[in-house]
Chains A and B, each alone.
Chain A
Amino acid sequence: MVELLVEMTGISKSFPGVRALEEARFELLPGEVHALVGENGAGKSTLMKILAGIYRRDAGSIRVKGSEVEISTPHAAQSLGISIIHQELNLMNHLTVAQNIFIGREPRRGILLDEAALNAKAQQLFDDLHLKLDPRRRVGALAVAQQQMVEIAKALSYNSDVLIMDEPTAALTDTEIDELFRIIRHLRDRGKGIVHISHRLEELKQISNRVTVMRDGRYIATVNTADAEIQQIISMMVGRTVFEATPELPEQRDPNVVLEVKGLNLGRQVRDISFSLHRGEILGIAGLVGAGRTEVVRAIFAADRPESGQVTINGKQVVIHGPSDAVHHGIAYLSEDRKRYGLALGMDVELNTVLASLRRFANGFGWVRTGATRKQALEQVQALAIKTPSIRQRVKNLSGGNQQKVVIAKWLTADTDILIFDEPTRGIDVGAKSEIYRLLNDLAKQGKSIIMISSELPEVLRMSHRILVMCEGRITGELSSAEATQEKIMTLATQREAVAAA
């Protein structure tokens, strides 16, 4: 039998107020891609962070290549040949690719840095991966996918045998994912063990040899990917049978235009954008990463002030100077990056819930009625089934899906008529996803108007009454839900300017 690269057994871990892992286990063979799946808060990331020396376990044992080890620091993990690539990349944007890879281990000539050797070593790594990337480029100038490659190269430069990737495909386009998978297969064939944490179950079949399912911090099962049905894995993840049934989109026939945008411009990403949004409508915005979708909604919300353009709300032209005006006019914006733009992470659930509508909970002197804010937070926690020990819990201690629910709670509390959801299901598990879909439907039924940006085409198709497709900062087409197909969307999403002009 082949010796296991990694064997973790009986791993338990608690954080203040949360039991993250309970007797969890995991094993990894050389030359395999092992997928680790589970809902948000299932403990996948925590388990892997323990393996990578970022957290310390409370109980359990870890064996690496057969011998029992104590991994107390990331450095210890590295010297055991274990590297982790986080969902949020950890690179220094102002340094070059090569400088990033060899940070702390720079080749030197005497007391001076040897930049030539540095670049040559980085180039060698890229050649091994059959990767075209200039070691001299500044990391800040690279696309996310390329930055990820830098992280992978950095991990390999430590001669790692175990590579843990936390949601590596979350921010990538389909072509970029193909390239990533090519490299993962290449590494697998060289005998490396790769842990692939993912929410995109359709990827499992493509890339993984085995799948381990976790739920509520516990180990559920490990199966060979080839033998397993996706539906079966989903059932194990949620602990019940989930029908991936399309939630019935409520009919939208209210002709009232709630929001009208005319000739909106901001830089290269927002060019002459005009569209209208009806009452009770879910308007999908599709497009490739970098098409300017987020920039458009940020301009409407005045998170970035547009250079020109008109916004009309309920027939009245309005001037929106900043987000506070936007909220005042009844627009909510759920950012794609909840940690940076959505939450005060160090603050508790209660404050985050009322942050966008604190005035409503205060008297004329600015005195906050704490009873009212507490009640509101408790109601939202219940209504959205937010898993938290209490409303006093700091948001940073919640799982991703529950954090997202807190952002949603904030905007439901603000009770605006127009809601902009930017990638509402990014990095969220199947169970929470269908909850969010149901919520979007309910909101539309109540007469709220919704703009939804999504990079997942099935989601856009399933959840939108109407779809706008963007490419290079322009709207290249509009499709009704009846006529829209993945192919039509992709055609419009790649309709570059040169082609359009021709």
Chain B
Amino acid sequence: MQTTSAPARSRAQSLLAGESIQRLLALAALVILLVFFSIVVPHFASTNNYIDILTATAVNGVLATGVTFVIITGGIDLSVGTGMTFTSVVAGIVAVNMGLPLPLSLLAALASGALVGSINGVLIAKAKLPPFIATLGMLYVTLGMAQVISDVHPIYFDQEPAFQQFFMGKPVAGIPNIVWVMLGGAAIAWILLNKTILGRYTFALGSNEEATRLSGVNVDRWKIIIYAVDGLFVGLAGIVIASRMNSAQPGLGMGYELDAIAAAVIGGNSLSGGEGSVVGTIIGAFLISTLRIGLSVAGIPDQWKSVITGLVVIGAVWLDILRRRSRA
């Protein structure tokens, strides 16, 4: 009996051990949550509300996409939130204070994001600082710099109506363009991670950095590139948040990095590196905003929303650990 049941069990185990299972779990959780809120919470089930959820996910989705790259390498980036603030302020200065054309300001945001990412990369790859420390330092540096270059004043894009018109415009299905920007960014990230050398090295680095180095891969250079790509997404997030608020707010940004990391973790990205996916990350980001909006439509106070979000992060990672244990 036992021998006949063994292959069936191993098939079930291998299915359970599949890499995509955490993503499926996250997706299932998202669907269940949406259905639950739709049934239980009055006024939740409305097109407007669903669009609100999509819109609310955009900023965190873009940031989390960026941070997914470094998490797969086994690193971390704590500077994405304040880095985003910095890039939005740079965009504001270029467009408003300097009066340069809008596309230039967008490029400036992306470039400044890539710069912050590159600095992180150099600190980590060349100076050998632990990623946690290097990016913790850059969290403060970018927060401070955003305030220095803006003189601690918000920059409003009122004279640049095209900016908000474009990004918050709703030409397709009533969904604002920033949502498409997030999904487009995620698609690009997916291609980078799955179809290019950069992606292969990202996974290889996270799996075994020393073996990758001894395979003749210039690990230092690729790390810097990966952090710079992360930075590009930070720049993109800077554009998205500035268009949502129609302003660059230099005081903002702290805490966003934790949302981004939480989204990646809920989506099945392992902080020890070597595995993960941007699809999971985006699902994770949706899960967080669904939870927040659902709870607030239900009239749950903010402080409790935080508690529940925290429990979801803990629960997601715990489930992942249980799943891993079952395949050992």
Which residues of A have CB within 8 Å of B217?
Answer: 323-324, 355-356, 358
Pairs A–B under 8 Å by Cβ, sample size 9: A14-B6, A14-B10, A15-B10, A59-B6, A323-B214, A342-B211, A346-B207, A347-B274, A351-B200
Stretch binding the partner chain, chosen from B41-49, B191-199, B291-299 = B191-199
B275 interfacial by beta-carbon distance below 8 Å: yes
Q: Mark A293-319, 1 if CB is under 8 A from B, else 0.
A: 000000001010000000000000000
A335 interfacial by beta-carbon distance below 8 Å: yes
Which residues of B have CB within 8 Å of A110?
Answer: none
Also in contact, A351 and B216, with CB within 8 A (given A14-B7, A16-B327, A344-B211)? no
Selected contact of B214 from candidates A12, A16, A341, A354, CB within 8 Å: A341
Residue from A323, A351, A356, A410 whose CB has the most chain B CB atoms within 10 Å: A323
B159 interfacial by beta-carbon distance below 8 Å: no
Residues B274 and A346 in contact, CB atoms below 8 Å apart? yes
Q: In this complex, what residue of B is CB-closest to A16? A: B14
Residues B200 and A356 in contact, CB atoms below 8 Å apart? no
* Interface set of B (CB-CB < 8 Å, partner A): 2-3, 6-7, 9-10, 13-14, 17, 195-201, 203-204, 207-208, 210-218, 274-275, 327
Chain A to chain B: the 9 pairs with minimum beta-carbon distance, closest first: A327-B216, A344-B207, A16-B14, A59-B2, A356-B215, A324-B218, A14-B10, A58-B6, A366-B197
Selected contact of A340 from candidates B17, B198, B211, CB within 8 Å: B211
Given A324-B217, A342-B214, A365-B196, 7 extra CB contacts under 8 A: A303-B214, A323-B217, A344-B208, A344-B212, A346-B208, A358-B197, A414-B216
A16 vs B11: C-alpha distance when bound (angstroms): 7
A17 interfacial by beta-carbon distance below 8 Å: yes
- Interchain nearest-CB distance for A364 vs B (Å): 11
Which residues of A have CB within 8 Å of B213?
Answer: 303, 322-324
A144 interfacial by beta-carbon distance below 8 Å: no
Which residues of A have CB within 8 Å of B2?
Answer: 12, 58-59
A367 vs B199: C-alpha distance when bound (angstroms): 10
Also in contact, A356 and B204, with CB within 8 A (given A347-B274, A370-B195)? no
Which residues of A have CB within 8 Å of B212?
Answer: 344, 355
Residues B196 and A367 in contact, CB atoms below 8 Å apart? yes
Also in contact, A341 and B211, with CB within 8 A (given A324-B216, A355-B217, A366-B198)? yes
A425 vs B197: C-alpha distance when bound (angstroms): 32
A368 interfacial by beta-carbon distance below 8 Å: yes
Which residues of A have CB within 8 Å of B9?
Answer: 58
Residues B216 and A17 in contact, CB atoms below 8 Å apart? no
A346 vs B202: C-alpha distance when bound (angstroms): 13
A29 interfacial by beta-carbon distance below 8 Å: no
Also in contact, A359 and B197, with CB within 8 A (given A12-B6, A59-B3, A324-B216)? yes
A489 interfacial by beta-carbon distance below 8 Å: no
- Interchain nearest-CB distance for B188 vs A (Å): 13
Q: Total interface residues on A, using CB and 8 Å?
A: 39
* Interface set of A (CB-CB < 8 Å, partner B): 12, 14-17, 58-59, 301, 303, 322-324, 326-328, 333, 335, 340-347, 351, 354-356, 358-359, 362, 365-368, 370, 410, 414
Which residues of A have CB within 8 Å of B17?
Answer: 16
Residues B3 and A16 in contact, CB atoms below 8 Å apart? no
Selected contact of B195 from candidates A326, A335, A351, A367, CB within 8 Å: A367
Q: In this complex, what residue of A is CB-closest to B272? A: A346
Which residues of A have CB within 8 Å of B327?
Answer: 16
Which residues of A have CB within 8 Å of B211?
Answer: 340-344, 355
Residues B218 and A322 in contact, CB atoms below 8 Å apart? yes
Residues B216 and A368 in contact, CB atoms below 8 Å apart? no
Residues B210 and A355 in contact, CB atoms below 8 Å apart? no
Residues A358 and B201 in contact, CB atoms below 8 Å apart? yes
A333 vs B215: C-alpha distance when bound (angstroms): 8
Also in contact, A351 and B210, with CB within 8 A (given A12-B3, A346-B274)? no
Also in contact, A340 and B210, with CB within 8 A (given A16-B14, A58-B6, A370-B195)? yes
A355 vs B217: C-alpha distance when bound (angstroms): 8
Selected contact of B215 from candidates A58, A323, A345, CB within 8 Å: A323
Residues A362 and B197 in contact, CB atoms below 8 Å apart? yes
Residues B200 and A326 in contact, CB atoms below 8 Å apart? no
Which residues of A have CB within 8 Å of B197?
Answer: 358-359, 362, 366, 368
- Interchain nearest-CB distance for B244 vs A (Å): 32
Which residues of B have CB within 8 Å of A303?
Answer: 213-214
A326 vs B200: C-alpha distance when bound (angstroms): 21
Residues B203 and A347 in contact, CB atoms below 8 Å apart? yes
Residue from B199, B203, B207 whose CB has the most chain A CB atoms within 10 Å: B207
- Interchain nearest-CB distance for A54 vs B (Å): 9
Residues B204 and A323 in contact, CB atoms below 8 Å apart? no
A333 vs B210: C-alpha distance when bound (angstroms): 13
A391 vs B27: C-alpha distance when bound (angstroms): 28
Residue from B197, B203, B208, B216 whose CB has the most chain A CB atoms within 10 Å: B216
Which residues of A have CB within 8 Å of B214?
Answer: 301, 303, 323, 333, 335, 341-342
Q: In this complex, what residue of A is CB-closest to B222? A: A324
Residues A351 and B203 in contact, CB atoms below 8 Å apart? yes
Q: In this complex, what residue of A is CB-closest to B274? A: A346
- Interchain nearest-CB distance for A406 vs B (Å): 11
Q: In this complex, what residue of A is CB-closest to B191? A: A367
Residue from B14, B198, B218 whose CB has the most chain A CB atoms within 10 Å: B218
Residues B210 and A341 in contact, CB atoms below 8 Å apart? yes
Also in contact, A344 and B204, with CB within 8 A (given A16-B17, A362-B196, A368-B195)? yes
Residue from A16, A335, A342 whose CB has the most chain B CB atoms within 10 Å: A16
- Interchain nearest-CB distance for B212 vs A (Å): 7
A351 vs B213: C-alpha distance when bound (angstroms): 14
Residues A326 and B207 in contact, CB atoms below 8 Å apart? no
Which residues of B have CB within 8 Å of A324?
Answer: 213, 216-218
Residues B274 and A344 in contact, CB atoms below 8 Å apart? yes
- Interchain nearest-CB distance for B30 vs A (Å): 26
A342 vs B201: C-alpha distance when bound (angstroms): 15
- Interchain nearest-CB distance for B290 vs A (Å): 31
A355 vs B17: C-alpha distance when bound (angstroms): 25
Q: In this complex, what residue of A is CB-closest to B6? A: A58
Selected contact of A326 from candidates B3, B199, B201, B216, CB within 8 Å: B216
- Interchain nearest-CB distance for B163 vs A (Å): 31
Which residues of B have CB within 8 Å of A410?
Answer: 215
- Interchain nearest-CB distance for B228 vs A (Å): 14
- Interchain nearest-CB distance for A479 vs B (Å): 30
Q: In this complex, what residue of A is CB-closest to B205? A: A344
- Interchain nearest-CB distance for A49 vs B (Å): 11
Which residues of A have CB within 8 Å of B14?
Answer: 16-17
Residues B13 and A368 in contact, CB atoms below 8 Å apart? no
A358 vs B212: C-alpha distance when bound (angstroms): 11
- Interchain nearest-CB distance for B223 vs A (Å): 13
Residue from A58, A328, A355 whose CB has the most chain B CB atoms within 10 Å: A355
A358 vs B205: C-alpha distance when bound (angstroms): 14
- Interchain nearest-CB distance for A77 vs B (Å): 16
Residues A323 and B216 in contact, CB atoms below 8 Å apart? yes
A328 vs B203: C-alpha distance when bound (angstroms): 22
- Interchain nearest-CB distance for A352 vs B (Å): 8
A365 vs B210: C-alpha distance when bound (angstroms): 26
- Interchain nearest-CB distance for B216 vs A (Å): 3
A99 vs B198: C-alpha distance when bound (angstroms): 45
- Interchain nearest-CB distance for A328 vs B (Å): 7
